[in-house]
Amino acid sequence: MPAKKQNEKDAMGIINHHIEAGSFARFYLLYGEEKYLIRQYRDKLLHAVTDMQDTMNFSRFTGEKPDTVAIIDFCETMPFLAERRVVLVEDSGLFKTGCEEFASQLSAVPDTAVVVFVESDVDKRNKLYKTVDQNGECLCFQTPDERTLSIWIKHQFQSEKKIIEDPAVFRLIETAGSDMSRIKNEIEKLICYCMDKQTVTIQDIEELCVEHTESKIFEMIEAIAEKRQERALHLYHELLENREPAMRILFLIARQYDMLLKTKLCMVEKKSEMQTAAAIGVPVWSVKKYSSRCRRYSAEELRNILESCQEIDYRIKTGQTADVIAVELLIVTLSRQIS
């Protein structure tokens, strides 16, 4: 019997509910920015609905332009000594194009089939998306907010009988960024590093975790804003030593200043943290950090900095200047003390 749809699109909650009830939708579409959660819940769902070693009743299609005829044929065949037939379709690109014929055929497959789509790019105007949404579940996995991410981090340590202090949790997020896969890797390193300790401290994070490039870029911009030129240049040279190309550093600097400008404009419009997060495309917990930093600038100053970044990008690409020197001069100019 097909599972009943829930009104609230709590992606994790919906899948957990279907698994607990043992009642599944015919179609699932898993997409969104949080790849770690997508992989985790893809596997959790598949293990609940089928034996993935059972090639008679489970089939996987990976990559663009899958054989849609084969998918439909597999779904329409009755299960062999099993409750259902299950198809996993990953990174097909089908949700970027029309796929009207496939969408019509898919809506007619029997209840003995479950199709799980995992996609990077989704167009909600797509007929296939609408078909899955009407007959199953379209589930978007977003980066969790600060509170949820903190709870998840603590749970990871608790499962290994360890405790992580609150300041260490926030420092870990600052260091690794909000990508859950990267955080998970850092957690595994910390658990091994603190094997003989029960409590993980902020000192452990500082000693072990490698700072994410974008985190260093943000720290560099903080140093620039505070006119700590020596620190800003030190971070730049550190990134170069870590084999970060100067052009990528320039791109990331420009992107951070673009985020600061957007945040500034949201503040002028008196938007809430939730609205600002949606407008600039960051988790809500990051908004405080951007709001604090952009107070040091006017909107006009931020626009001028972005124009400078664009000008340097043009000069590098047209061979008028060397990339490493040009970016360094930009940092020197922005961080110069005004007498």
Distance separating alpha carbons of residues 165 and 185, to the nearest angstrom: 18
Rg (CA), the chain: 24
Of 259, 240, 242, the residue nearest 297 (C-alpha): 259
Domain that holds residue 165: 146-208
Dihedral sign, CA of 123, 127, 128, 132? positive
122 plus 76 within the same structural domain = yes
327 plus 220 within the same structural domain = yes
Inside any domain, residue 67: yes
Predicted confidence at residue 17, as pLDDT, reads 94
Predicted confidence at residue 226, as pLDDT, reads 84
Which tokens hold the place of 178?
A: 């909000």
Per-block mean pLDDT, blocks of 10 residues, the chain (339 long): 53 92 94 89 94 91 89 92 92 84 90 93 89 93 81 91 90 78 88 90 82 75 87 90 86 89 92 85 76 88 94 92 93 77
pTM over 0.95: no
Element (H, E) at 31: strand 27-31
Inside any domain, residue 45: yes
218 plus 324 within the same structural domain = yes
Inside any domain, residue 31: yes
What phi and psi values does residue 80 have, to the nearest 5 degrees? -105, 110
316 plus 290 within the same structural domain = yes
Domain end call among 185, 208, 231: 208
CATH number of the domain that residue 98 is part of: 3.40.50.300
200 plus 220 within the same structural domain = no
Starting at the edge strand found earlier in the chain, the sheet holding 113-118 runs 58-62, 85-90, 113-118, 27-31, 137-140
Domain end call among 157, 173, 208: 208
**How many domains does the structure of the chain reveal?**
3
32 plus 119 within the same structural domain = yes
36 plus 130 within the same structural domain = yes
CATH number of the domain that residue 327 is part of: 1.20.272.10
173 plus 134 within the same structural domain = no
Q: How many C-alpha atoms does 123 have within 13 Å on its Cβ side?
A: 12
195 plus 225 within the same structural domain = no
Inside any domain, residue 2: no
The Cβ of residue 64 has, within 10 Å, a number of other Cβ atoms equal to 10
282 plus 194 within the same structural domain = no
Inside any domain, residue 4: no
Distance separating alpha carbons of residues 68 and 87, to the nearest angstrom: 11
Inside any domain, residue 246: yes
Inside any domain, residue 60: yes
Domain end call among 154, 174, 208: 208
Predicted confidence at residue 7, as pLDDT, reads 44
Predicted confidence at residue 47, as pLDDT, reads 94
- Quick one: DSSP state of residue 121? -
The pLDDT tens digits of the residues spanning 42-78 come to: 999 999 999 988 889 999 999 888 899 999 999 999 9
Predicted confidence at residue 210, as pLDDT, reads 63
- Quick one: DSSP state of residue 237? H
49 plus 134 within the same structural domain = yes
Predicted confidence at residue 58, as pLDDT, reads 95
Predicted confidence at residue 158, as pLDDT, reads 92
Inside any domain, residue 277: yes
187 plus 249 within the same structural domain = no
Predicted confidence at residue 64, as pLDDT, reads 83
